Amino acid sequence: MFIFALAFFTNAFAIAWKSTKGEKATRIATALTILGTAVIFVAIVARGMSAGRVPWSNMYEFSITGAFAFALAYLFTLRKYDLRWLGIFVTFSVLIVLGTAITLLYRPTAPLVPALKSTWLVIHVSAAIICGGVFLLANVIAATYLILEKYGDNRPAWAAKIPSLDVLDLLSYRLIAFVFPLWTFAVIAGAIWAESAWGRYWGWDPKETWAFITWVGYAAYLHARVTVGWKGRKAAWLCLIAGSTFLFNYVWVNVWGTGKHTYSGL
Amino acid sequence: MIFALRYVWRQLTSMRTALFLLLLLGLAAIPGSLVPQRTSSPIKVQEFFANNPGQAKLYDQLHLFDVYGSPWFSAIYILLFISLIGCVLPRTIEHAHTAMAAPPAAPSRLEKMEYFQEISGTLARAETILRKDRFRIRREANWISAEKGYLRETGNLFFHLSLILILLGISFSSLFGMRGDAIVNIGERFTNTPTSYDSINFGKLTSPSDLPPFLIKPTNFVAKYNPSTNQPLDYTLTVLTAPNPESKALEKIIKVNSPLKYGDTSIYLQANGYSPIVTVRDRTGKIRLQGPIPFLPQDGNLSSNGAIKVPDMEPQLGFVSQFFPTVDQPKGKPARSSYPEALDPRLFVAAYRGDLGLDSGTPQSIYKIDTKKLFQIGLESMKVGQTYTFEEGSITFEGYVPWVNLQIVKDPGKLLALIGALFAILGLLASLFARQRRIWIKAVAGDKLEIAGLAKNAAPGLENEILEIARKLN
C-alpha cells in the first residue's frame, strides 16, 4: 500500500516535472509499481498461508488479488506499449481498490463454508479475478481515450507522451479480445461448480445474471468492432458500459444483493 | 408478400439487428436481478405481494417475477437465435466453398499492398517455403497466391454453432428433466416416487412413471461449525441406498459438492434442520401422535419454526412451535438460538384446540397453523424429556433428529450444454487468436521477385513473416 502510494506520487511528480527529469521520475515510478505489485503478491501468499487455503473467498481477498492482477496486467502491457504516462491512473486505481479493501472490507481469515470447498474455487474464482484486473485496465485505457479525444492534437503537457488515440483504441480492443475467452471460461467453470454444489448449472442468481450481462456486453463490443466496424469513441463507450456491469456485479451484488453468491458477511 | 418476407428475413439476419438483439438481451436480463424471482425466491415474491399488492399485480402482468421464462424474454432470445442461425448457416456454406477453392488471384500491382518488397529468389523455392509453412497455395505461371488462417472463420462459426448446441441442451432438459425436493429425517427411508416429495416439477415430456426406483435411507448426518463465527465448516450425510428395492443397499456419503448419482439423476444435499420428536397423549393417556416433525430453520443458528398438528382428536389440537438447538433468552427480547448445534435444545409450544381446517379442501403448509378458528390453551417451554400437561391431554418433548433436504434433479441435457460450452471456448480462442492473412509473390525478371501481403483485421505479425520468407529465399 505504502509503496503504491509512493509510486502514485512519483507518477504525479513525473507529470508535474515533465521536462528532462520527468523521464527519470517515470522510470522510478515504474520500478516502484513493480515493487508494489511484488509486495501485494507477498501479502496474498501470506493471507493464503494464514487461512490455510487459497485466499479467494471474500471481498477483501478478491480485492487485493484483483488489484494485483490489474497491476500485473499493466506491467505486462508495458513490455509492448509505452503506457508509463498512464501510470498515474493505474496507481490511482490500485490505491482506491486497496484502500477500500483495507478500510471497509477487511475480515480476519476464516475457514471455508462447505459449499466453497471445491477445486472449482481455485479455477473459477482465479479466472474471474484475472478477468476483473484486465477488464479494469481495458476500461482505464478506454476512459483515457475518451478524455484525450477531446483535446485532439493539442494535448495538455501531462498527456503529451501517452500513445496516440489509435494505439489506445487498439490496445483496449486487444485486452478485451484476450480476456473475453477467459471470462467465458470463468462463467462456464462457475456453471460446472454450481451444478455440483447447488444442483443446477444455471439459475439466474443475481451474480450469474450480471456475469451474463457482462458477457453479452463484451460480446456486443467484439461484434461491433470486428463485424460492424465500430472504432474509437463508440467502441470506448461500449467498453465502459460493459465494464461498469462488471463493477456493478462486484460491488452491488456482493454488498446489497441477495442470492447464492453471498456467503460470509462480504 | 414474398418480397416483404424476404425483407424481414434480411433485416433479421443483418449484423446490426443481431447486435441490437444481443444488447437488448443484456438489458432484458437486468430486471430479473432486481425484482425477486419465483424460481429462486418464492417467499420474497409472496412478501412483495403482501406489502405492495397494487405494484405486485402490475409487475406480475409484466412477468417481472418470472423474467427468464417470460414471453418477452423468450421472444428476444428466440429472435436472436433465429438471427444467429440465419447468419451462421449461409456463412458456413460459404466458408466450406472458400476452404475448398484455391486462394484468389494475386492483385495485378503488388506495390499497392502491405509490406511490399523486392527480393531475389525463385518462385519454385518460394512455393516450397510457403508449403512448409502450411499455406494454402495457388501457383500460376508467374505468381503465387498463398493464404493461411482459415481457422479464424472456422472457429468463429464453430463458436456460434456451439451456442446453438447449448440452447438445445437447455431445451432438452426442460422437456425431459425433473427437479424435486424432499425433507427426510435421519433414520427414515425415502423411496423415489412422486408422493415422497415435498415439491416436484416434471419437464413437459416427462411423466412420474419415469422416476428411477431408487431408495435412500439417511443413517447419519454430521454438521461441523466454527465455534467463533458459527459458520458451517462441513456437512457429511451418510446414507444406505439401493438402485431398486430388489438390490442390496450400499453405504454412500453425500456432501455439498459431491452429490449421489443414479444415471442422469443426481441427489444433492441442499439444506438441513431439526425435527423435534414429540408424543401427544389425550386425557386418558392414549398416544395420539408420536414422531419427529420437521421444523423450518429461520436463521444461521437454526432457530426453527414448525407446527405440530393432531387431527385425530376431538377437538383437534395444534401446537404453534419453535425449536432452538442452543437456546438464548435475552431479557425483554424473544428467544433465539445462539449456536446451530444442539447444545441446550428447547421446544416452545403454544397449544391450541378447535378445528385445524384440514378438511376444508384448501392445501395447508405443514409448517404453519391457521389459528383464527382456534382457542389458545397455553404456552410452555420444554427441555428434552419434559412434559406439558393441560386439560385436553399432554405433549412430551422426547428429543430431536436432524433432517436433510434432498434435492433430486434429472438433467439429461446438461452434457450437451457442457459440450457446447467447451466447444464454444475452443471456437472463441481460434476465432480471436488465429490470424488470417494472404501473401503474394510475383516473378518480375530474372531471379527477382516481388512480395506483399494482406492481414485480415490488421492482425499483427505479417511484416515479420514476410521478412522471414525473404530471408529464407536469399
Say if residue A21's pLDDT is above 60.
Answer: no
Percent of chain A with pLDDT over 70: 89
- Residue (of A92, A197, A212) closest to A144 by Cα position: A92
Q: What are phi and psi of B201, to 5 degrees?
A: -130, 130
H helices of chain A, where? Answer: 2-16, 20-51, 59-78, 87-103, 119-120, 126-151, 165-198, 206-223, 232-248, 254-255
- Do A233 and A147 touch, CB atoms closer than 8 A? no
Please count the other Cβ atoms lying within 10 Å of the Cβ belonging to residue B251: 11
DSSP 8-state code for residue B344: B
Which three-class secondary structure state does DSSP give residue B31?
helix
* B-proximal residues of A, 158-197, CB under 8 Å: 170, 177-178, 180-181, 184-185, 188, 191-193, 195-197
Mean pLDDT, rounded, for B206-216: 89
H/E stretch holding A200: none
| Cα distance between residue B335 and residue B318, in whole Å | 21
| Residue pointed to by grid coordinates 493461411 | B148
- A195 interaction partners in chain B (CB closer than 8 Å): 411, 414
- Do B446 and A216 touch, CB atoms closer than 8 A? no
Say if residue A151's pLDDT is above 80.
Answer: yes
When scoring A183, A187, A195 by the number of chain B Cβ atoms within 10 A, the one with the most, hence best to mutate, is A195
pLDDT band per the 50, 70, 90 thresholds, residue B388:
very high
- Give residue-wise pLDDT tens across range A29-50: 788 788 888 888 888 888 888 8
| Cα distance between residue B439 and residue B446, in whole Å | 21
DSSP 8-state code for residue B195: G
How close, in Å, is residue A77 to chain B by CA atoms? 15
- From first CA to last CA, the distance across chain B in angstroms is 64
Say if residue A4's pLDDT is above 70.
Answer: no
- Residue (of B442, B438, B437) closest to B109 by Cα position: B442
pLDDT band per the 50, 70, 90 thresholds, residue A263:
low
- Residue (of A67, A75, A73) closest to A30 by Cα position: A75
| Shortest CA distance from A203: residue in chain B | B40
Mean of per-residue pLDDT scores for chain B: 89
The whole-number pLDDT of residue B396 equals 95
The whole-number pLDDT of residue A16 equals 46
- Do B76 and B117 touch, CB atoms closer than 8 A? no
Sequence-separated (6 or more) residues with CB below 8 Å from residue B54:
none
Check CB contact of B134 with chain A, cutoff 8 Å: no
- B230 interaction partners in chain A (CB closer than 8 Å): none
B428 and A213 within 8 Å at the Cβ level: the answer is no
- B226 interaction partners in chain A (CB closer than 8 Å): 110-111
How close, in Å, is residue B150 to chain A by CA atoms? 16
When scoring B20, B23, B264, B267 by the number of chain A Cβ atoms within 10 A, the one with the most, hence best to mutate, is B23
Say if residue A9's pLDDT is above 60.
Answer: no
Say if residue B66's pLDDT is above 60.
Answer: yes
Say if residue A229's pLDDT is above 90.
Answer: no
| Cα distance between residue A135 and residue B89, in whole Å | 32
A209 and B32 within 8 Å at the Cβ level: the answer is yes
Pairs across A and B, CB distance < 8 A: 121
| Residue pointed to by grid coordinates 453468491 | A261
Mean of per-residue pLDDT scores for chain A: 83
| Cα distance between residue A144 and residue A164, in whole Å | 11
* A-proximal residues of B, 179-208, CB under 8 Å: 179
* B-proximal residues of A, 137-156, CB under 8 Å: none
Sequence-separated (6 or more) residues with CB below 8 Å from residue A70:
A90, A93, A94, A97, A132, A133, A134, A136, A137
pLDDT band per the 50, 70, 90 thresholds, residue A252:
confident
How high is the ipTM of this complex?
Answer: 0.84
pLDDT band per the 50, 70, 90 thresholds, residue A20:
very low
Please count the other Cβ atoms lying within 10 Å of the Cβ belonging to residue B236: 15
Grid cell for residue B370: 391457521
Check CB contact of B25 with chain A, cutoff 8 Å: yes
pTM of the model: 0.86
B25 and A180 within 8 Å at the Cβ level: the answer is no
The whole-number pLDDT of residue B276 equals 96
A115 and B256 within 8 Å at the Cβ level: the answer is yes
The whole-number pLDDT of residue B427 equals 94
Question: Quick one: residue B6, left, alpha or beta (phi over 0 = left, psi -120 to 50 = alpha)?
Answer: alpha
Mean pLDDT, rounded, for A117-129: 90
Say if residue B393's pLDDT is above 50.
Answer: yes
When scoring A120, A192, A216 by the number of chain B Cβ atoms within 10 A, the one with the most, hence best to mutate, is A216
A184 and B425 within 8 Å at the Cβ level: the answer is yes
User: CA angle B243-B248-B250, nearest 5°?
Assistant: 75
How close, in Å, is residue B30 to chain A by CA atoms? 7
Check CB contact of A228 with chain B, cutoff 8 Å: yes
Sign of the Cα torsion B123, B129, B131, B133 reads: negative
- Residue (of B146, B60, B78, B244) closest to B449 by Cα position: B146
Check CB contact of B222 with chain A, cutoff 8 Å: no
| Cα distance between residue B219 and residue B164, in whole Å | 44
Check CB contact of A243 with chain B, cutoff 8 Å: no
- Do B40 and B65 touch, CB atoms closer than 8 A? no
Nearest to A113 among B32, B68, B232 (CB): B232
Mean pLDDT, rounded, for B281-285: 91
Mean pLDDT, rounded, for B142-163: 90
- Residue (of B365, B353, B371, B279) closest to B317 by Cα position: B353
Lowest mean pLDDT among A158-162, B62-66, B412-416: A158-162
pLDDT band per the 50, 70, 90 thresholds, residue B318:
very high
Question: Quick one: residue B463, left, alpha or beta (phi over 0 = left, psi -120 to 50 = alpha)?
Answer: alpha
Say if residue B125's pLDDT is above 80.
Answer: yes
When scoring A107, A198, A252, A253 by the number of chain B Cβ atoms within 10 A, the one with the most, hence best to mutate, is A198
Nearest to A199 among B409, B417, B418 (CB): B409
- Give residue-wise pLDDT tens across range A75-86: 899 888 888 778
- Residue (of B275, B124, B250) closest to B187 by Cα position: B275
Burial class (CB in 10 A: 0-12, 13-18, 19+), B208: exposed
Buried b (16+ CB within 10 A) or exposed e, B329-345: eeeeeeebbbbbbbeeb
| Shortest CA distance from B16: residue in chain A | A228
Lowest mean pLDDT among A199-203, B305-309, B395-399: A199-203
Which three-class secondary structure state does DSSP give residue A260?
coil
Nearest to B30 among A110, A120, A213 (CB): A213
The whole-number pLDDT of residue A66 equals 92
